[in-house]
Amino acid sequence: MPSWVWIPITIAAAGFQTARNAFQRGLVGEAGPWGATLVRFAFGLPFAAVWLAAATLLDPPQAAVRDFAAFAAACVIGATAQVVATAALLVAMRRASFAIGTAFQQSSLPFSALVGLGVGDTLAPLGWAGVALATVGLAVLSWPKEGAGRDGWSAAAFGLASGAAFAISANAFRVSAHALAPGDPVFGAAASLVVVQILQTVGLGAWLAFRDPAALRAALAAGRRAWGAGFCGAAASIGWFTAVALAPAAAVRAVGVVDMPMAAWAGRRLFAEHLGWRQIFGAVATAAGVVAASLGHS
């Protein structure tokens, strides 16, 4: 497999992720952030299972499980972090805007770089310079408009929390794929995704059944929008899981910045949202930073 194949995989994943976020954002008003989060996992699970079956048939794994304990722990940590990250992202999008919420998600870049040090991934000096520039851009984006009040600050807080949790999940999924099948990253990514989505569907579904049955009912009754979110979510996760199995999580998240212009277009067309000059500057600085980080990964 070519060493660069993770790049087009990441770009495709970013496109599906933007579509998934748009479906989920439209469900927040009915099902709440946790119900909209559940939709992504529950309705995406059948598609993830089909992908695992196809990956197994087309490229059967050649090696046994290397470290089941590490695989299980990474799946649990990654599944939990991804649930928290998704819910926080949806809250940020609702309190700020679709495009700005997506930009906040890029805070996973500096967090991924830091978390990645713990799993042996490194960045060259150019990469760290990119991380620093992206952090500056995110700081500009995080500063609310004058008069925005509590919602402006809370949107920034939820957005940054989302990025941190996505960074943890991305690195956890990289660990799980390699712990399960070190010589078969695509199969390891597919199996990790299915296990993670089962954990997320059962865990979050049970929690909602106990704490917020109305949100659970709204999520399950969402119909075509739910299936749209599930399909796009599964396609995005397939791309992300495969990419982080093939390359460091920080580099993958860096290339994934292409979702920012996608989100700006979607926010304008679907939700009639507009960006101010300060927000545009912050987004451009963030994008430049992640590009530098992607060029400087090692």
* Chain segment 157-206, per-residue pLDDT in tens: 888 888 888 878 878 888 888 888 777 878 888 888 999 999 999 999 99
Q: Is residue 173 classed as helix, strand or coil in its secondary structure?
A: helix
**CA 245 vs CA 12, 29, 190, 235, 237: distances in Å:** 16, 35, 10, 16, 12
Percent of the chain with pLDDT over 70: 73
Scanning the structure block, which residue is given the tokens 């794994």? 61
Which pLDDT belongs to residue 214?
A: 94
Residue 134 CA to residue 251 CA, distance in Å, equals 13
Average pLDDT, the chain: 80
What pTM value is reported for the model?
A: 0.77
Q: How many residues appear in the chain?
A: 298
The tens digit of pLDDT for each residue in 233-270 reads 899 888 887 887 787 766 776 777 777 677 666 666 66
Q: Is residue 120 classed as helix, strand or coil in its secondary structure?
A: coil
The residues near 61 (Cβ < 8 Å, ≥ 6 apart) are 181, 183, 184, 187, 188
Half-sphere exposure of 158 (CA within 13 A, CB side): 23
Residue 221 CA to residue 211 CA, distance in Å, equals 18
Neighbours of 157 (CB within 10 A): 16
CB 199 within 8 A of CB 172: no
Tell which phi-psi region holds residue 32, choosing left (phi > 0), alpha (psi between -120 and 50) or beta.
left
Q: Which residues lie across from 297 on neighbouring strands? A: 123
φ, ψ at 297 (rounded to 5°): -80, 150
The type of residue at 237 is S
SS3 of 203-225: HHHHHHHHHCHHHHHHHHCCCHH
Percent of the chain with pLDDT over 90: 24
Output 123 or 160, whichever has higher pLDDT: 160
Residue 271 CA to residue 290 CA, distance in Å, equals 26
First to last CA, the chain: 19
Q: Taking 70 as the threshold, does the pLDDT of residue 272 lie above it?
A: no
Residue 37 CA to residue 55 CA, distance in Å, equals 26
Separation of CA 257 from chain center = 11
Which pLDDT belongs to residue 231?
A: 95
